[in-house]
Chains A and B, each alone.
Chain A
Amino acid sequence: IQMTQSPSTLSASVGDRVTITCRASQSISTWLAWYQQKPGKAPKFLIFKASSLVSGVPSRFSGSGSGTEFSLTISSLQPDDFATYYCQQYSSSSPWTFGQGTKVEIK
């Protein structure tokens, strides 16, 4: 299963609403996770099962979608949110593939 994220890079300002899209090459139901990674750091687990927020993750992060189309939305971008975001599918048919990443940079 191939995972394709768009855009590859996103320029935004603090306070903006930001949406990242992730498409699967075949249906994965809601078996999708999102991660945030900052330079030189390990990824941070944000969302699982497409829309379930990990404990401790700010509520400005939300996930949606099912089947082959998914999105991660940040409702009001904060300075700490400038990072690279990855989606990951974990469908049993061909598990644990990551998207190529979306870099959210300061406009």
Chain B
Amino acid sequence: EMHLLESGGGLIQPGGSVRLSCAVSGFTFGDYAMTWVRQAPGKGLEWVSVISGTGAYIYYADSVKGRFIISRENSRNTFFLQMNSLRADDTAVYYCAKFAFSVRDLRQYLEEAGGFDIWGQGTMVTVSS
């Protein structure tokens, strides 16, 4: 059974940093692009960042570009979101998720990778003084 488990959330002061982790099991991790999606309290879903299976291709939403860094360690079946210069509007539940389909080259076959089929339970990040 495929499973994703986030960790690392908590209460962070404005301007601070935190690293989220997502440990996965039940599938060949390196074959799939992975993503972080967030949901502010009472709000909708917002895509944050994507990393390809090899880590060669990385994408960020404009709202986090230059502040967040996504990475992965395929040998440890884990990927990460380093969140820097945090602001109050970064307060949200952060979900990690897996792309539905394995593609050889995410940049060329982005659409064929599909939506996000397996999600973690989410970890809350609260940015407040």
Contacts and interface: CB of A to CB of B under 8 A. Distances in A.
Which among B47, B100, B111, B114 has the greatest number of chain A C-beta atoms within 10 A?
B111
Interface stretch (A12-20, A72-80, A96-104): A96-104
A10 interface: no
Interface of A: 29, 31, 33, 35, 37, 41-45, 48-49, 54, 86, 88, 90-92, 95-101
Nearest to A86: B45
A42 B114 contact: no
Contacts of B26: none
Interface of B: 35, 37, 44-47, 50, 59, 95, 97, 100, 110-111, 113-122
Given A48-B100, A90-B111, A98 B117 contact: no
Contacts of A101: 44-45
Contacts of A86: 44-45
Contacts of A100: 44
B27 to A, nearest CB: 14
